[in-house]
Amino acid sequence: MSERFIVTGGAGFIGSNLVAALNARGHEDIVVVDRLDPAGMKQRNLDAVTYGEYVDKTEFRERFRVGDVDVPVTVFHLGACSSTTETDEDYLRDNNVDYTRELCEWTLGHDARFIYASSAATYGDGALGYNDAHDGIPALQPLNAYGMSKQLFDMWALESGTIDRIVGLKYFNVYGPHEDHKGDMRSIVNKAYAQILETDALGLFKSYRDAYADGEQMRDFVYVRDAVAVTLFFHDHPDLAGIFNCGTGQARTWVDLGRAIFAAMDRESNIHFIDMPESIREKYQYFTEAEMSKLRGVGYDAPFTSIEEGVRDYVRHYLSV
């Protein structure tokens, strides 16, 4: 009998890439749960993969509440409102916290594996570092309502003891194919490619801290295929549980990323610096870098893709096609 999977957010960015990776393993009995966008961009993501059933997220929530869902071997809960500018806290609590808790309890009640997307946004401004040890979770102070919603579920999992039976992944700055539907939440690689095509130049934010030159702000950029590989690692190792960072452990500058994009497009770098909107200056993160010793300590030993290699693959095999 083939293994059955549920992937919420399966028409989205990481989710559709995960479904593709499951297909590459020979799995097609996959229930994709999502909410399609009017522009049809998520449908294009679905058209690129094979799955058994698509269910709208509202219908799915109603169905598992009444027991009208066949039990899978693993639920990959990647669906959430991921907008860092969303301000409706009631919506975020219902969609990102309550829904996740309900699905987690249903999954564990049927002895299935539950792997969910937390977020590096829970680390806030990084003043407390980026260590994924459980004892540091209560002190974290996210900078926005989205990050807080992810923190609230992490806290519930920790305080209820559920975290010892599930896996949460704190994805850092993920980029790669099938993110077009994300609008302003798309990666800078996706946005910059279009900007460079149009203007032959790339504008990056100026720095407002003396410790960082313009464009030298740093992020932990993760190619989506690596994020998927880490996610599947925890399906393959059902004895593992807890909250883990999903980054590379090596921060790179925005200038590094910009140069990688120009190189992938076979163009000379042409980077200039623009004013950062005042509305985000006080909450802007100047440095993120995942502490990766915990993931490495449980046996994940695959190398991570450099931004030069990842951007080249993304640009040449997806964006420019």
Domains contained in the chain, number? 1
- 265 within a domain of the structure (yes/no): no
Rounded to whole angstroms, the Cα distance separating 62 from 220 reads 37
- 147 within a domain of the structure (yes/no): yes
Q: Is the pLDDT of residue 201 over 70?
A: yes
Rounded to whole angstroms, the Cα distance separating 132 from 226 reads 18
Q: Which domain holds residue 63?
A: 5-175+221-247
Q: Is the pLDDT of residue 269 over 90?
A: yes
pLDDT for residue 208: 96
Closest CA to 46 of 38, 63, 34, 61: 34
State pLDDT tens for residues 48-91.
999 999 999 999 999 999 999 999 999 999 998 777 777 888 88
Provide CB contacts within 8 A for 258, sequence distance 6+: 192, 202, 204, 215, 269, 271
The CATH number for 98's domain is 3.40.50.720
**Helix extents (H) in the chain:** 13-24, 41-47, 57-65, 89-92, 99-109, 145-160, 188-199, 224-236, 254-264, 278-281, 293-297, 307-314
pLDDT for residue 2: 73
| pTM score, whole prediction | 0.95
Give CA separation, 237 vs 26, 178, 233, 242, 311, in Å.
18, 27, 6, 12, 30
Active site residues: 146, 182
Amino acid at 173: N
CB of 143 closer than 8 Å to CB of 121: yes
- 275 within a domain of the structure (yes/no): no
Closest CA to 169 of 305, 11, 307, 15: 15
Mean per-residue pLDDT for 259-270? Answer: 98
Share of the chain above pLDDT 70, in %: 100
CB of 117 closer than 8 Å to CB of 154: no
Mean per-residue pLDDT for 156-161? Answer: 97
State pLDDT tens for residues 213-234.
999 999 999 999 999 999 999 9
pLDDT for residue 86: 79
- At 309, the pLDDT band (50, 70, 90 cuts) reads very high
- 198 within a domain of the structure (yes/no): no
**Phi/psi of residue 37, each to 5°?**
-90, 150
Rounded to whole angstroms, the Cα distance separating 34 from 14 reads 12
- 197 within a domain of the structure (yes/no): no
- 148 within a domain of the structure (yes/no): yes
Provide CB contacts within 8 A for 285, sequence distance 6+: 125, 126, 143, 217, 219
Mean per-residue pLDDT for 298-302? Answer: 98
pLDDT for residue 202: 98
- At 38, the pLDDT band (50, 70, 90 cuts) reads confident
DSSP-derived 3-state class of residue 109: helix
- 277 within a domain of the structure (yes/no): no
- 88 within a domain of the structure (yes/no): yes
